[in-house]
Structure 1
Amino acid sequence: MRTISPSRAPALTPAAIPAAYALETVPRYTSYPTAAQFGPFVDEALYRRWLAELDGETPLSLYVHVPYCRVLCWYCGCHTSVLNDDARIARYARRLEQEAERVAAAMPRKGPVAHLHFGGGTPTILAPADFVSVIERLEASFPFAPDAEIAVEIDPRTLTEEMASALAGAGVNRVSLGVQDVDPEVQRLVHRVQPTEQVAAAVALLRANGIHRINVDLMYGLPKQTVAHVRASVAAVLAMAPDRAAVFGYAHVPWFAKHQAAIDAALLPGAAERLAQAAAAAEAFAEAGFVEVGFDHYARPDDPLAIAAREGTLKRNFQGYTTDTAETLIGFGASAIGALPMGYAQNEPHLGKWAQAVDDGRIPVVRGVPVTPEDALRRAAIYALMSRFDVDCGALAAAHGVDEAFFDAELERLDPLVADGLCARAGRRVTVPPHARFHVRNVAARLDAHWAPQASRHSRAV
């Protein structure tokens, strides 16, 4: 058995880490294996078997994907398209209800739903009555915990009084508002013109209807964006008193999201500027008393997300950092992904094919990947790094019933990162110091059996 010698990272600042690491393309690790490993290994028949085998005692999490927007934002990397046909959107809602009923029928044992999340696209593109109807059908198909969190992503530009009232009436108790950047020129360059007053009005409307748990989403790395822009955006959203914020780095992947070709790549900030913008956002939120959660989320100290980070119970899923501890996530809608103890299952992303599958009485799962015991071990190690910036690889391997030396080759791969200040290692224990937290994905990638430095299917590390 090899002996892993202790090593320590030197005291450095984020700017001292070589820029090459920021340019690496690495997964966001909202799943493991990542979506890059999904394939035709999971079909409807296998998914139905998995559903039938679920334990009815453990909580469930539900995700509903609404892949439509009124206007396409050029930075978006999600499965969505522009649609202004309200009748077609209503038909999509009816099919969501049918899919939910069909999946529930395939589950002889159903634990209580602790979390329900509507994402997109723009979930509030649904008519208020249709949105309420979808939630009512979900509640009729699955048992909901009395304190279930029901969260919805909202485009502040299209929120109406009627929709805010419908959200509250349907039990929505958390919302996320996309802000990105408040500078008019940056907004114009990404095709999302959204005055700050419009966002503030949406927040006030939600609170007037009794919805007080407010999240905001910001971005860095946008065209012509600067550190000053980021600081101004943080100041603007802090004036609205949100509970949580997420600050995502723009991922320029026009080969995947073809509409991103409308963004002039020559106007995008370089690696050093992107890192400075991420650090500026972190500093601004810290100055306001927010707690850092993971590498890109911030929360008030008394928020459940901050408490989970402090107590070491923070989790990670397709929505990023979360307090959701459910081991089973069921996805509904075109392209939606489910995460079950046995593996990941993704619905048909093509809207027409997804609709036809639902109309034909099928569950529209077409791809995914089973999770092997080795995958589960690697996922636990990666998630520990991503959520706690610390993992004892030897102890974790032993807890999974394998030799403590399982990760030794990966630990050797970390030696250059230790030398460059991205992490420290003592025996088989790996930690990511505060100055390197924006690079935690670089460190986690070295524990990934599928990742290679030359891979380009992922976003830049910073």
Structure 2
Amino acid sequence: MTKNALTYASRNVPRYTSYPTAPHFHGGIDGALYADWLRACPPETELSLYLHVPFCREICHYCGCHTKATRKDAPLIAYAKTLGREIELVAEKLGSARPVSHIHWGGGTPSLLPQESLLELAGLLRVSFALSPDLEHAIELDPRLVSPGLAATLAAIGVNRASLGVQDMDPVVQRAIGRVQPYDDVVRATDALRNAGITALNFDLMYGLPHQTSATILDTVARTLELAPSRIALFGYAHVPWMKKHQRLIDEAALPSPQLRLELAEIARSALLEAGYEAIGLDHFALSDDSMAIAQREGRLRRNFQGYTTDTATALIGLGVSSIGLLHQGYVQNASDVGAWERAIEAGRLPIVRGIAMDDDDRARADIIERLMTDYEADVAAIATAHGMQVSAFDESIAKLDDLVVDGLALVDGYRVRLTDAGRTYVRIAAAAFDAYLGKAAPTAVVPRHSMAV
């Protein structure tokens, strides 16, 4: 461990699931402009679809998602109807059925949508877009709510990958984060999905949670290994109570220290590697025959708002409240308020309320950051040339890597940057060196606050 490990690990930097990052989106991007961007989208453009369902039965204390609790189905049914209309609006602006290689349902808990709503929306997607025969169709699930009936419905609409929000299997930790989820629930959910033919399973685990110890996180990993998911995401808990007020329910005194947090990440990582999983980027792991491990070995790994992905699409269409989309021209984001989102769609308008137009410098930096976050190295000169940029535009960014180089965490050879094995843990800090927006006031005139680097 480098002498400055804790200093680096405690630094607050973005997760870089996008660049520019969302805090720098602004209100100058609206539905009319997005409609123009959609109409200009070339017919051969490969699309990825993200559908956001902002409802859960209850809100877990740690949650950083845009969601709210509901015990009734009426809001879910109404939401699905409006979501269907949004799909139609987007398809109308595109003008023809574009090819789609990836669909991802997120939330919230998207599986709360009633069976009829799921079937209707899936049918609408099939007639509105040209779904690839090799489509990856994924959904995020709460293990406590997965039944054989739900699993059968998901299989019927074409879902072939499911992500289970496991987080931690220790009862004390679960009570502290407001998500009591017995191991048997996870077993039942896993069995139901596999019995329905959905065998590509992801488990989401977290470190940095209250009351976690080396013993509890090792037990969580051991129980996870018993169920053998094909992929595992090991996320660091982002304690951002200034953004997510329900996180104030977490006792900050029970959170692990930066030192322990770093140790928990390494303990879990080592156990997963020892069990035969391959490390994928910063925080994912996969069995060697999984498509994500293959993509990494072949240099095809990507990163977007769902984290590391095999998604090869060049454009992302975000659907639903707060969803973010990406076209060549830039990012767009839907209204985060359900009422405002519904009213715009009912009026026949795309519900975009903010975003950011990208120039060549943005696109080049986005590529550099993505390559660092996926391959741990980037040929800055080659990327600059590909975007028609002078490589000297990145001299200041290269200079910001000096501390990492001195500490043996990065190697810089001209304009080629590579993280050492010891430096991979701190890749977000290397990526931040190329972020031209970091530290600048966002459109709200507030400097964005980010989670810890590890």
Q: TM-score range by the shorter chain?
A: over 0.9
Matched letter for residue 427 of structure 1: G
CA offsets 1:324-375 (integer angstroms, 9 cap, x no match): 0101110111001111111000000011111121222221111000111100
Q: Which residue number in structure 2 is paired with residue 129 of structure 1?
A: 116
Structure 2 partner of 1:175:
162
TM superposition shift of 1:78: 0.7
1:430 and 2:422 correspond: no
Q: In the comparison of the two structures, how many residue pairs are matched? A: 449
Judge which range, 288-297 or 446-455, deviates more: 446-455
8 Å Cα contact 2:23-2:448 kept in structure 1: no
For residue 460 of structure 1, what is the aligned residue in structure 2? 452
Residue 170 of structure 1 and its aligned partner are, at CA, apart by 0.8
Q: What SS does structure 1 have at the residue aligned with 2:383?
A: helix
**Distance change in 2, residues 1:105/1:255 (3 Å):** same
CA distance in structure 2 between the aligned counterparts of 1:388 and 1:16, rounded to whole angstroms: 25
Give the letter aligned to residue 147 of structure 2. T
Deviations 1:67-90 (A, max 9, x none): 000011110111000011211110
Partner of 2:285: 298
Residue in 2 that maps onto 1:388 = 375
Structure 1 unaligned residues grouped into runs of 5+: 1-12
Paired letter, 1:35: A
Q: Secondary structure at the match of 2:143?
A: coil
Following superposition, the deviation at residue 399 of structure 1 comes to 2.7
Q: Which residue identity is paired with 2:361?
A: E
Q: Which one is further off, 178-187 or 230-239? A: 230-239
Which residue of structure 1 aligns with residue 444 of structure 2? none
1:38 maps to 25
Per mean C-alpha deviation after superposition, the further-off stretch among 318-327 and 431-440 is 431-440
What are the Cα deviations for residues 160-207 of structure 1, in whole angstroms up to 9, with x where unaligned?
222111001111100000000000000000000001111011000111
Match of 1:283 in 2: 270
Partner of 2:193: 206
Per-residue displacement from partner, 1:103-125 (whole Å, max 9, x unpaired)? 10000244311000000000111
Moved more, 416-425 or 348-357: 416-425
Whole-Å separation in 1 of the counterparts to 2:383 and 2:159:
38
**Quick one: structure 1 residues 453 and 140, their matched pair in 2 at CA, closer, same or farther if it must change by over 3 Å?**
closer
Report how far residue 453 of structure 1 moved.
9.8
User: 1:418: how far off?
Assistant: 1.3
TM-score of the two chains, using structure 2 as the length reference: 0.97
Work out whether 1:347 is the aligned partner of 2:347: no
> Which residue pairs with 1:7 in the alignment?
none
Letter in 1 for 2:217: V
**CA deviation after TM superposition for structure 1 residue 456, in Å:** 4.8
Is 1:120 aligned to residue 107 of structure 2?
A: yes
The partner residue of 2:229 within 227, 242, 259 is: 242
Contact 2:177 2:210 in 1 (8 A): yes
Match of 1:333 in 2: 320
Over aligned residue pairs, what C-alpha RMSD do you find? 1.3
Aligned equivalent of 2:75, options 84, 88, 92: 88
> Equivalents in 2 of 1:49, 1:126: separation in Å?
31
Give the aligned partner of residue 444 of structure 1. Answer: 431
1:59 aligned partner: 46
Query: Take 1:19 and 1:416, find their aligned partners in 2: how far apart are those partners?
Result: 14
Name the aligned partner's letter for residue 128 of structure 2. S
- Of 85-94 and 106-115, deviating more is 106-115
Return the offset for 1:416: 1.3
* Match among 221, 224, 230 for residue 217 of structure 2: 230
CA deviation vs aligned residue, 1:409-462 (integer Å, no higher than 9, x gap): 111111112112331212221111122212100110011001139955211101
**Residue identity matched to 2:376:** F
Counterpart amino acid of 2:452? R
- In 1, the alpha carbon distance for the partners of 2:25 and 2:193 equals 38
Identity value in percent: 48
Contact preservation (8 Å) 2:163, 2:201: yes
Cα distance between partner residues in 1 of 2:327 and 2:269: 33
Residue 222 of structure 2 aligns to which amino acid in structure 1?
A
Letter in 2 for 1:297: H
Of 80, 85, 91 in structure 2, the residue corresponding to residue 98 of structure 1 is: 85
Farther off after superposition, 181-190 or 22-31: 22-31
Partner amino acid, structure 2, of 1:52:
R
> Once the two structures are superposed, what CA deviation does each residue of 1:191-224 show, in whole Å capped at 9, x if it has no partner?
0000111101100011111110000000000001
Note if contact 2:360-2:389 (Cα within 8 Å) is conserved in structure 1.
Answer: no
1:147 and 1:456 map into 2 onto residues whose CA distance is 39
For the residue of structure 2 that corresponds to 1:217, the secondary structure is: strand
Asked if 2 retains the 8 angstrom alpha-carbon contact of 1:99 and 1:358, the reply is yes
| CA spacing shift, 1:453–1:230, aligned 2, 3 Å | farther
| TM-score normalised to structure 1 length | 0.95
Secondary structure of the 1:362 match is coil
Which one of 314, 317, 334 corresponds to residue 304 of structure 2? 317
2:128 maps to which residue? 141
> Is 1:77 the counterpart of 2:64 in the alignment?
yes
Q: Which runs of 5+ in 2 are unaligned?
A: 442-446
For 1:333, give the aligned amino acid: G
Cα distance in 1 for residues equivalent to 2:149 and 2:326:
34
